A and B are shown apart, each in its own frame.
Chain A
Amino acid sequence: MSAAVQLAAAGPGLAAAGHGFLSPTGVEIAFVLVGLATLGAAVLSVTTRQLVHAALWLVVALGGLAVEYLLLTAEFIAWVQVLIYVGSVVVLLLFGLMLTKAPIGRSPDADSGNRPAALTVAVAAAGALVWVVVDAFRTTWIALDKGVQGSTAVSGESLFRHWVLPFEALSVLLLAALVGAIVLSRRSGHDSGQGVGPGPGQGKEKR
């Protein structure tokens, strides 16, 4: 971080003349590189014809995002991301793939018939959003050197000071989701308990 960053300390959202696309900082370079990797993994995850590979590419993408969180000084979020997503959600998805007898190896029909339409919509949306976002935040800088914004201590303090009530409400929601998942995945009658009940349960326990 150089003098340019010093200038940005004037305040978030202010256009700082010292910044420029042509003089990236180290954090920026790291962010862009990791971002490219994340994006590539995400694209592979939605395009690969091997279903299990898709889940694994998703792991890469989510992990990349955790790194991005770290770079944005939100370390607690980054660890939660790794724990929940990489640790449990993807595992859950893999279980789901297996339970639905997803084929191992290349399956030619991984994409449905409206792929061109999907591509059109996605590209158009990307174009429109990128245009809008770039147009809006062209001259906005984040002052990363003004202290860590998302350390565990800070996050915990704000969470249990200001966000206690939503936090508790969320726990009720998770309970309801747990019950719902169990009810949905129960087999009718009394046949073997080889269901997917534990799936959502794992997610709950992790929290």
Chain B
Amino acid sequence: MHLAYPAVLAVLLFCTGLYGVLARRNAILVLMSVELMLNAVNLNLVAFDVWLRDTLHAGQALTLFTIAIAAAEIGIGLAIVLLVHRNRGTADIDKLRDLADPPPAGSPALHDSMAAPTDNDADQARRARRQTA
């Protein structure tokens, strides 16, 4: 079999996953895209292992490890997403902007529009949850 087929398929899957990671808003969908990327890598590993006819089967062993690590990653990742959702009331990645550089004191407009609502919303959501619980 031509090696280019699995290789190109892996590339396309990887780039699809890349697009998903960059474009999806929901954190769980992002995780799914990450899975796609990991699987593309797995495909590559398997294809090259078969091509090279490796006596140690390094490619397949690594694929197994990758699958295991991907499972662990998805577990931890989901736990984090749930925690964020519980704390912030949302799992949307583009609303989690604590990394943003706080705007300078001289521009209150920016301050109002960007940084403050995020924090306030989160705090209000947390308070609301506390009350319901």
Q: List residues of chain A with CB under 8 Å of any chain B CB.
A: 12-13, 19, 21, 25, 27-28, 31-32, 35, 38-39, 42-43, 45-46, 51, 54-55, 58, 61-62, 65, 68-69, 71-74, 76-77, 80-81, 84-85, 88-89, 92-93, 95-97, 99-102, 109-115, 117-119, 121-123, 125-126, 129-130, 133-134, 137-138, 140-144, 146, 149-150, 154-155, 158-159, 162-163, 166-167, 170, 173-174, 177-178, 180-182, 184-185, 187, 191, 195-196, 199-200, 203-204, 206-207
Q: Determine whether the beta carbon of B29 is less than 8 Å from that of A54.
A: yes
Q: Determine whether the beta carbon of B2 is less than 8 Å from that of A28.
A: yes
The 8 closest A-B pairs by CB, nearest first: A200-B75, A118-B22, A46-B20, A177-B72, A122-B19, A126-B15, A118-B23, A158-B57
* Complex alpha-carbon distance, A109 and B12, angstroms: 25
Q: Determine whether the beta carbon of B4 is less than 8 Å from that of A13.
A: no
| Interface residues of B, count at CB 8 A | 73
Q: List 21 A-B contacts (CB under 8 A).
A: A12-B53, A46-B32, A51-B26, A80-B64, A81-B39, A81-B67, A96-B28, A109-B25, A110-B26, A112-B23, A114-B94, A121-B18, A126-B11, A134-B4, A141-B1, A149-B57, A155-B60, A185-B82, A200-B76, A200-B79, A207-B71
Other-chain residue from A51, A111, A133 in contact with B4 (beta carbon distance below 8 A)? A133
Residue of B nearest to A138 (CB): B4
Q: Determine whether the beta carbon of B61 is less than 8 Å from that of A158.
A: yes
Q: List residues of chain B with CB under 8 Å of any chain A CB.
A: 1-9, 11-29, 31-33, 35-36, 39, 42-43, 46-47, 49-53, 56-57, 60-61, 63-65, 67-76, 78-83, 85-86, 91-94, 133
Contacts of A96 in B (CB 8 A): 28, 31, 78, 81-82
Contacts of B65 in A (CB 8 A): 166-167, 170
Contacts of B7 in A (CB 8 A): 133-134, 137
